[in-house]
Homo-oligomer: A and B are copies of this chain.
């Protein structure tokens, strides 16, 4: 594993840890700033595109303020580094509750499963999150996994 891949994976972990902790300051460190502030882009599941660091961080503040309990189980992480850009895809298996962890039984997974593309870019301050695109996995497709399996 290259050093860049390891760094990007660690930053991805920090992203979700910061959200779980409801820590907007830590989240602010993960996201790109400075010359990239206006171009940072975020799509929450089911949302339109948000652009600009201020709008993006504000949206996270609203989400964190309205969620008493939020836990991510991140799986299926894949990273590709393309020079000064790194694209990471993963699945977010989300456990949420309104009354704390004790409310979040296996029966109540309102967050459910989300698939995400996180695009990082190398900045003078190190790798930073530049684009986050998360989308809900809706009802199973008509297409069986076997039908679309890669044969190569």
Contacts and interface: CB of A to CB of B under 8 A. Distances in A.
Count the copies: 2
Contacts of A62: 143, 147-148
Contacts of A29: none
A80 B39 contact: yes
A41 to B, nearest CB: 6
How many chain A residues sit at the interface, stated as a range, is: 35 or more
Interface stretch (A15-23, A44-52, A102-110): A44-52
A131 interface: yes
B46 A143 contact: no
Contacts of A136: 46, 135-136, 138
A150 B141 CA distance: 36
A2 interface: no
B91 A49 contact: yes
A131 B83 CA distance: 16
B121 A52 contact: no
A56 B55 CA distance: 33
A109 to B, nearest CB: 16
